[in-house]
Amino acid sequence: MPTVSQLHKWALGLGAVSGTILYYYNAYSKTEPLRVHNSWTTNYTPSVKWDHNWDRRDPQSLVKPMKVNDENDENKYNEKFEAKKAKAVRHILLIRHGQYHTDGKTDIERMLTELGRKQAEATGKRLAELNLPYSLIVRSTMTRALETSQIIEKNLIDVPVETDSLLVEGAPIPPEPPIGQWKSERHFFQDGPRIEAAFRKYFHRAEPNQDRDSYTVLVCHANVIRYFVCRALQFPPEAWLRICLKHGSITWLCILPSGRVTLYCLGDTGHMLPQNVTSS
């Protein structure tokens, strides 16, 4: 039977040949039991840990602490705790508006191009094909988002629709690395709090009384969506400009009852003809 030292030598030899060894044996100490480690996570400490109370809806933060003297007190606390727990999943589908006339001087003049309307139509058909039980459509008040949403709405009959000025385009936070062109801090000072308010309004785990999964469609803008993605995944929000989103693209996030967030897709345009895919 091979010794531990021989196993170690074989692992090193195979690693040198193929470069694909993912595990190695800790054979340096005869006093410790044989253990297997991931070669890239040995002694690994995460640089940033997940904040489970990021939406301030963790049940522990919603129930007033109480002194537990007996089993009866413990049962009372557990009942209050359970009453505050989310039970359903919240799905949020973020849609970027279609291509629009960038040479317009006013918002009303920055309407969708013919291609932009085709993009919105393709996105509407895709959402309909997914056949999800959509709960709500919320659209930005800017012309290009309103037009995009109106085209999508024709494919999603009987889904309630709302408009929200919090979702209009803006500059959420100075990007890192910088974009290389000057922009007054006034834009970030004004737009940032508004876009953050929109995030806090729409991104949170389900209320305890929500017993079914919900599917909310937000039709808005690239900067807003990119910032939302970074915030929801607890990535540095300054990284928003590193993400590219195409016109009419679908970005899908879900928020679990535990508060964990999953990104199903980012900027998906697979439902469009290749020649119809644009970003500017």
Alpha-carbon torsion, ordered 22, 27, 31, 37, to 10 deg = -10
Per the structure, how many domains does the chain have? 3
Of the chain, the percentage scoring pLDDT greater than 70 comes to: 84
Mean pLDDT on 216-224? 98
Pick from 27-31, 139-143, 148-152: least confident:
27-31
In a domain, 192, yes or no: yes
Q: What average pLDDT does the segment 175-196 reach?
A: 87
Verify that 144 and 189 share a domain, yes or no.
yes
Q: How many CA atoms lie within 13 A of 224 on its CB side?
A: 30
Do residues 70 and 95 share a domain? no
Whether residue 45 is contained in a domain is answered as: no
129 inside domain: yes
Residue where one domain finishes, among candidates 85, 112, 142: 85
* pLDDT over 80 (residue 261): yes
Co-location of 79 and 101 in the same domain:
no
Domain assignment of residue 55, given as a range: 50-85
DSSP H helices in 154-242: 185-202, 222-232
In this structure, the number of other CB atoms found within 10 A of the CB of residue 81 comes to 13
Query: pLDDT tens for residues 74-133?
Result: 888 888 889 999 999 999 999 999 999 999 999 999 999 999 999 999 999 999 999 999
From the list 126, 119, 97, 94, the residue with the least C-alpha distance to 263 is 94
Q: Are residues 196 and 94 both part of a single domain?
A: yes
In a domain, 96, yes or no: yes
pLDDT digits (tens, 9 = 90+) for 56-90: 999 999 988 888 888 887 888 888 889 999 999 99
In a domain, 13, yes or no: yes
Let me know whether 104 and 158 are in one domain: yes
Is-cis flag, bond preceding 177, omega within 30?
yes
The strand order across the sheet containing 214-220 reads 161-163, 136-139, 214-220, 90-96, 250-255, 261-268
Alpha-carbon dihedral angle through residues 97, 102, 108, 114, given to the nearest 10 degrees: -60
Which stretches does DSSP call E strand in the chain?
23-25, 36-38, 90-96, 136-139, 161-163, 214-220, 250-255, 261-268
Q: Please check whether residues 63 and 134 belong to one and the same domain.
A: no
67 in the same domain as 31: no
CA diameter of the chain: 80
Residue 70 lies in a domain: yes
In a domain, 115, yes or no: yes
